[in-house]
């Protein structure tokens, strides 16, 4: 609509009148009213930080400053579509393993808390010594319930007091960095999380550079899409290095976030004055690499989960069958 020459407030009103959720419609109506009364589009969007991210607003600000709001919106659309595709890919990858994990957990709970209490008294009354697997399951019944209760209580309290926990970590930057680094060091998930973060940072950086934003500001804004506090802090290290006069490639190498191959390609882009193009190329490359890493992770998790589920179910079957066989032998 902007490309067609429709004024921005009217274009926003057309969008608000469309088939949208009520909450979205209310937000767009408010933004449209603010723009109609003379408020800058970016300032109106900043009134809803839960809906419009800092990167979102930054791209709009760049488009306003350069007079190319339609181009900025197009870059923003590409960025958001890429992020949504990646989120859907992550959900699709993790859904099947999580379902297997849930089924295994429910099988164990069903046997321990419903089936085992019905068969154990019969064997105990006949003074037959239960096999080791069955005794382990009986002991786990006494231990598992407190663990489940404590875990559920901890999760509920953690969710309820998350503002205080966030404030506690914010007051201790070193602890906050160590906590944020832990997911990146996990054996299977860590490399995938890092690849996804690198892809999001680079694509956001390329979008902002294409829209005309300055390099230092673009690095600062793009770090906010990383989704990890440690990576965001390391990007600030890269920003400081660039402010001190270092090259982009050297600053990215100092950040310890980007792989060596990405740093080398960015060096080439910097030397040929095609930094924005090269950053976008590297972003696309690592986007594909992140998708392949997600596929590899799914291919690793599925057999591991199937094997773990088989061991659990097999142990449950042994725990139920061995007492029966032992009873038959004693008859």
Q: What is the pLDDT of residues 148-161, one digit of tens each?
A: 788 888 888 888 88
Of residues 40 and 169, more confidence is placed in 40
- The answer to whether 52 and 221 are in contact (CB under 8 A) is no
**Contact of 297 with 189, CB cutoff 8 Å:** yes
Res. 330: pLDDT tops 70? no
What is the secondary structure of 197-263 as a DSSP string? Answer: HHHHHHHHHHHHHHTT--HHHHHHHHGGGSS-HHHHHHHHHHHHHHHTT--HHHHHHHHT-S-HHHH
Predicted TM-score of the model (pTM): 0.68
Mean pLDDT of 191-202: 81
Exposure pattern of 7-37 as b/e (b: 16+ CB <10 Å)?
A: ebbebbbebbeeeeeeeeeebbeebbebbee
Q: Answer yes or no: is pLDDT of 331 > 70.
A: no
* pLDDT classification of 250: cutoffs 50, 70, 90: confident
Domain range 76-331, its CATH number among 1.10.3720.10, 1.20.81.30, 3.40.50.300, 3.20.20.300: 1.20.81.30
Is pLDDT of 100 > 70? Answer: yes
pLDDT attached to residue 10: 85
Where along the chain do its domains lie?
8-75, 76-331
128 or 49, higher pLDDT: 49
pLDDT exceeds cutoff 80 at 28: yes
Nearest Cα to Cα of residue 224 among 91, 71, 58: 58
């Amino acid at each position: 609509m902007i490309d067609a020459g429709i004024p921005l407030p009217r274009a926003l009103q057309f969008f608000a009148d469309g088939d949208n959720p009520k909450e979205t419609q209310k937000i767009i109506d408010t933004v449209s009213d603010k723009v109609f009364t003379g408020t800058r589009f970016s300032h109106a969007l900043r009134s809803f930080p839960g809906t419009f991210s800092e990167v979102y607003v930054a791209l709009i600000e760049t488009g306003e400053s350069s007079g190319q709001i339609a181009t900025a919106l197009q870059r923003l659309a590409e960025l958001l579509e890429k992020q949504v595709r990646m989120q859907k890919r992550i959900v699709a990858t993790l859904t099947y393993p999580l379902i297997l994990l849930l089924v295994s957990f429910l099988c164990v709970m069903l046997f321990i808390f419903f089936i085992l209490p019905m068969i154990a008294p019969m064997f105990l009354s006949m003074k037959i010594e239960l096999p080791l697997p069955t005794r382990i399951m009986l002991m786990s019944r006494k231990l598992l319930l407190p663990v489940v209760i404590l875990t559920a209580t901890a999760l509920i309290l953690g969710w309820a007091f998350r503002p205080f926990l966030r404030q506690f970590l914010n007051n201790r930057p070193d602890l906050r960095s160590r906590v944020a680094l832990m997911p990146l060091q996990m054996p299977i998930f860590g490399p995938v999380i890092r690849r996804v973060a690198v892809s999001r940072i680079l694509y956001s950086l390329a979008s902002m550079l294409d829209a005309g934003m300055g390099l230092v500001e673009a690095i600062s804004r793009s770090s906010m899409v990383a989704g990890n506090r440690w990576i965001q802090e390391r990007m600030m290290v890269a920003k400081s290095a660039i402010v001190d006069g270092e090259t982009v490639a050297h600053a990215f190498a100092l950040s310890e976030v980007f792989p060596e191959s990405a740093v080398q390609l960015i060096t080439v882009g910097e030397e040929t004055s095609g930094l924005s193009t090269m950053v976008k190329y590297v972003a696309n490359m690592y986007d594909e690499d992140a998708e392949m890493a997600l596929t590899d992770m799914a291919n690793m998790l599925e057999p591991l989960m199937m094997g773990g589920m088989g061991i659990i179910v097999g142990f449950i079957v042994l725990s139920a069958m061995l007492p029966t066989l032992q009873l038959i032998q004693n008859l």
